[in-house]
Structure 1
Amino acid sequence: MRTFIKSWIPQCLRILGSPCRLFHGCNRLFTSQIISYYDAINQCKKELPEYFNFASDVLDEWSRLEKVGRQTANPAFWWVNDEGEEVKWSFEELGFLSRKAANILSEACGLQRGDRVIVVLPRVPEWWLLYVACMRTGIVFISGTSQLTAKDISYRLQASKAKCIITNGTLAPAVESVIPDCQFLKSKLLVAKGSRDGWLNLKELLAVASADHECVKTRSQDPMIISFTSGSTGLPKMVVQSHSSYGIGFATSGRYWMDLTPSDIMWNTSDTGWVKSAWSSVFAPWICGSCVFVHNMPQFKPEVIAETLSRYPITTFCTVPTAYSMLVQHDLSRYKFMSLKHCVTGGEPLNPEVMAKWKIQTGVDIHEGYGQTETVTICANMKGMEIKPGSLGKPVPPYDVQIVDDHGAVLPAGEEGNIAVRVKPTRPFCMFSEYLDNPEKTAASVCGNFYVTGDRGIMCEEGYVWFVGRADDIINSSGYRIGPFEVESALVQHPAVSEVAVVSSPDPVRGEVVKAFIVLAPAYVSHNPEKLTHELQQHVKKVTAPYKYPRKVEFVQDLPKTTTGKIQRKVLRNKEWGRI
């Protein structure tokens, strides 16, 4: 171990540019062989194992250490709600219950290794239980936000060929309405009290299921997760992540960006439908042996977040920049965050002013990080680094992050270009495997020797990366990534809409919001604009997920187009942002 520390520290210092205070208390860095082993893989000091399964190789190891008294007294999982209910699981209890759930998936639902299951649940304990159960069985886990409509669910079921869907009583009717179109669906599992015709009930099955289950042996590069991501020119794409990409890939960012150890309790507010929930509510904390804290929080309320941070011994907090912005506008002076010591954020650019206000009100810095559905953390302001307000931080091992031009050539410091990750000659193991059933999209994501993120940025002389904007049309509103195509598709279904273009528009609270430029059908030109705007907004909420609706609507006579007739969203976007 001493040889490893000596060889690794200089390398990490070169990568991070960090002062030696990063390594204050080396015994804290290496509190577990689990953390150091997988961190060594990220540092390219060890080869990626041929076989890896997060449930058996990480969670069950923490359970073993728990039994011999080498783990902290914190639970592995701690869930609360506004009614005062709590659920706490140790790693041993998580293992016991997830084995039961694994048997339910295999026996009651009839699923086999490699089958795909869609899980659409809010922040309830069963979501985490089923996540681990899928790992144990080799079943591919696909998560979806509870705001999905019947149309959204139908598309995801058909595109993924999922054989099972798991949801609650609220969304069960939407699932039932699309079943005739979903020929691959074989079973439906309900997470709710009471029975429903045609559905299996998870609670009832857990009561009688056996906990005798042997975890399957999965290869490191076997598929573990599929995530749907919005695109600018089509329907959501399916991003495939392997057992190692997320299972091992978050070791470094979990330890050095999130600053997690087995003594920590981490609360991440992300919705279960977003990959950030996998990042910060599953893999990063659990690979570090930390406690995953969850508040069911059906709606974002600053007072609930402040009260929760004050009431519970949460040491590490993660939420989107928009939430921090709303929190610093709330009166935090009457709260005392006695345990809070580290804060992180991502998903959208963080305003330096918000960072400064948070530090004044809480005494804690916010460490911004950056990544995508296709990656783990690419860049971050690591613990111990000098924080450059407004920057994404520096590249996180094992990524070689560069700013490249449209031909894949590396640009000098200070020049704007595409934020990219080197994938040739060696592709980092913690990159996505492919866009499922879309080889053209997979191939198009690589330019020269680099995977191009689609985001524009600048790298300064010190190696910090600064976000400039997106190269595509994706709208990032309060951390929700929204593809304009889906919103446009919803709007054109309304008889009032002849043509439409959807772009981002600046917003002081959400960073940016959806704006629709609409050419009306002749019969609707004389309608009241305010009433018609409201009608169209409600229409979008019904057709697709409500968070995608256009908060701004402008009626126009025509839309800018190319000579071939393609709508030029860029022209409208530049107008909105004052770039022309």
Structure 2
Amino acid sequence: MNDPAHGDPAREDPARQVADWLEVYGASDASAANLLCDRHDPDSVAFTLVEPDLTSAAFTYGDLADESRRMATVLAASGVAAGDRVPVLLGKRRALIVALVALWRIGAVHVPLFTAFATGAIALRVEGSGARVVVTDASQREKVDPIDAVTVLDVDDLVAESQTAEPSTDDAVVGGDGVFVQLYTSGTTGKPKGVPVPLRALASFQAYQHFSLDVAADDVFWNAADPGWAYGLYYALITPLATGRTSLLLNAGFTPQSTVSVLNEFGVTNFAGAPTIYRSLRAHADMTGVRLRRASSAGEPLTPDIVDFGRAHLGCEVRDHYGQTEIGMVIGNHWNADVAMPLKPGSMGQAMPGYTAGIVDGQIALDVKASPALWFTGYDAAPEKTAERFTGDGAWYLTADTGKSDDEGYFSFTARDDDVILAAGYRIGPFDVESVLVTHASVAEVAVVGRPDPEGIRGEVVEAFVVLNTGFVGDDALASELQALVRDEYSKHAYPRTVHFMDALPKTPSGKVQRFVLRRQ
């Protein structure tokens, strides 16, 4: 059998590759610690750990194996057992990786927490998962201490105790259906819901890295997303561990110029991030010296201007990919030559190998039987919410994102189903209007929502919330200019009746626009 971490260069059948990965990651005797660490060459570098001053250190699989075995001993002595949900609130540092692999050695389930969370968001996830133990450090501890009935473990204490601990020799076998992560949805459209991630999901994750991101053995790969959220956890941390590919991990927050510095200093050739990163780079960074082989985007629809920005300033176009916390990435403008297709403006691409997509009741949907890589079976302890994700006969997974497809299998995103604007009998997708507005030189970011028509005639009217580039003033004249742009470039029925100028758009910690907040204003 082929090594699923590296694939077979001679094999050109994507469906066969996915089947091979499913066989290994879905095995009944699968161990997370083995698949994500131990089976790799101990001398190979797992992560290049980059500090804010751009100093760096190589973290090998051998080091990770030894340190995680010792920490597993300490965690077990602290009461952590197989099946326990253990929230981890840490920055992008070495101890984060060690703690996660240590938890997986025990058979515990990692519950990711984003370091920008306040106590309320942390408590929701801690209490929702039934956790008894939380792992954090001194910089985050004050957020966790107010939460009742949990034991707080300081990771630096765990590291210190691990220095003299005996390495654990018992790695839990959880099997392909065993849960190793429980992530929570972002809360863009409601209360976050727990998403159990089984070990067999690694087959889907690897398919994305291979076919969509096209991470090659000689690439310098950097996914800048934070591992407190799905895209960063799945594809900046877990998938590189599964595949044995070296990845950068920057222990710092995002700034445009620091991002350029990392790209140039480490010679990054394959980069992934959210559209907001690319927009910020375009608006605020000197891109001199940046040359990428691959650039990918996920999290929100990618407007065509960013594709062009990539061609002009990154050395390659930026390719849009689509997915969700519940299913990982499933549709994309894939980079790998075996499946790559020409870009179509406004399209997020085609279904990834291992998935068959369609449009059901106006929603982007996945054919369950024809999507062997689909791993989501339901939310944690939320059967009613789970039922909303599937058709009544269970044949289709429903994303709740409206969209459309063409005869060549290209899919286009329209809106979250509850973001669709109903105006005078028309269904208006915010993304279509935003794609026009963002082409104006003054616009840095924009979000469009529907508001009740004050005249009670049209049902809803379109309103735009605009963040301006430096040097522009938000006045009536500019508002009129933006309205005319939509009327002239898109459609008279979809132009924003009101344009609001803002310093920043309300977003979740993962960078998604909270349209429900805008609708309340």
1:141: which partner in 2? 110
Percent identity reads 26
* CA displacement at 1:230 relative to structure 2: 3.8
Task: Supply the distance in 1 between the matched residues of 2:377 and 2:517 (Cα, whole angstroms).
Answer: 38
RMSD (CA atoms): 3.7
- Deviation (angstroms), 1:297: 1.9
- Conserved in 2, the CA contact under 8 Å of 1:121 and 1:168? yes
In the alignment, the residues of structure 1 paired with residue 463 and residue 28 of structure 2 have an alpha-carbon distance, to the nearest angstrom, of: 44
Distance verdict in 2 for CA 1:101–1:248, change over 3 Å: farther
Superimposed CA distance per residue, residues 61-95 of structure 1 (whole angstroms, 9 cap, x where no aligned partner): 2226x5xxxx6xxx211111123442321121121
Give the total of aligned pairs.
Answer: 441
Q: How does 1:376-415 map to 2 (within 5 A)?
A: 376-383=328-335, 384=337, 385=340, 386-405=342-361
Look up the match of 1:466. 412
Q: Deviations over 1:435-473 (max 9, x none)?
A: 111111112210142110011111111111111111035
Residue of structure 1 in register with 2:47 after alignment: 77
- Secondary structure in structure 1 of the residue aligned to 2:115: coil
Is the Cα contact below 8 Å between 1:260 and 1:285 reproduced in 2?
no
Offset at 1:376?
Answer: 2.2
Partner of 2:282: 328
Where 1:52 maps in the other structure, the secondary structure is coil
Counterparts of 1:137 and 1:47 in 2: how far apart (Å)? Answer: 18
Q: 2:179 is matched with which residue?
A: 223
Distance in 1 (alpha carbons) for counterparts of 2:351 and 2:282 = 29
Aligned equivalents of 1:352, 1:51: Cα separation in 2: 46
Offset, 1:262: 3.0
Partner Cα distance (1:164, 1:32) in 2: 46
Partner residue, 2:69 = 99
Summarize the alignment of residues 412-561 of structure 1 with structure 2, pairs less than 5 Å apart.
417-424=362-369, 428-447=372-391, 448=393, 449-472=395-418, 506-507=465-466
Q: 1:61 to 1:419 in 2, by over 3 A?
A: same
Q: What's the CA shift for 1:290?
A: 1.2
3-state SS of the aligned residue for 1:227? strand
Are the equivalent residues in 2 in contact too, given 1:321–1:345 (CA < 8 A)? yes
Q: Which residue type is aligned with residue 308 of structure 1?
A: V
Q: Which runs of 5 or more residues in structure 1 are unaligned?
A: 5-27, 193-200, 406-416, 485-502, 511-533, 555-568
Deviation at 1:346, TM superposition (A): 0.4
Tell me the distance in 1 between the aligned counterparts of 2:374 and 2:511: 30
Cα separation, partners in 2 of 1:454 and 1:260, compared to 1, 3 Å: same
TM-score norm. by structure 1 comes to 0.68
Partner of 1:114 in structure 2?
83
Tell me the equivalent position of 1:284. 239
Q: Secondary structure at the match of 1:392?
A: coil
Unaligned runs of 5+ in 2: 421-429, 435-446, 450-461, 470-501
Residue matched to 2:37 = 59
Q: Distance in 2 between matches of 1:546 and 1:365?
A: 23
Matched letter for residue 217 of structure 1:
V
Q: What TM-score comes out, normalization by structure 2 length?
A: 0.76
Q: Report the 3-state secondary structure (helix = DSSP H, G, I; strand = E; otherwise coil) of the residue aligned with 1:177.
A: coil
Could you tell me which residue of structure 2 aligns to residue 351 of structure 1? 303
Give the direction of change, closer, same or farther, for the CA distance of 1:421–1:36 in structure 2 (3 Å limit): closer
Partner of 2:458: none
In the other structure, the counterpart of 1:363 is: 315
Structure 1 distance, partners of 2:24, 2:84, is: 31
Counterpart of 2:266? Answer: 312
The answer as to whether partners of 2:299 and 2:512 remain within 8 angstroms in 1 is: no
Contact 1:44 1:398 in 2 (8 A): no
1:146-185 to 2 correspondences below 5 Å? 146-179=115-148, 183=149, 185=150
Aligned amino acid, residue 209 of structure 1? A
How far has the Cα of 1:124 moved from its partner?
A: 1.6
How far, CA to CA, are the matches of 2:214 and 2:404 in structure 1?
Answer: 26
Match of residue 214 from structure 1: 170
Question: How far apart, CA to CA, are the structure 2 residues paired with 1:32 and 1:85?
Answer: 38
Contact (CA 8 Å) 1:393, 1:464: kept in 2 or not?
Answer: yes
Between 447-456 and 257-266, report the one with greater CA deviation: 257-266
Q: 2:218 aligns with which of 247, 253, 263?
A: 263
Aligned AA (1:433): T
Change (3 A) 1:545 1:369: closer
Whichever residue aligns with residue 370 of structure 1, its letter is Y
- What CA distance in whole angstroms lies between the structure 2 residues aligned with 1:38 and 1:93? 34
- In structure 2, the residue matched to 1:488 is none
Is contact 1:30–1:36 with CA below 8 Å preserved after alignment? no
Q: Which amino acid aligns with 2:199?
A: H
1:90-124 Cα shifts (integer Å, max 9, x gaps):
121121112122222212x2111101100111222
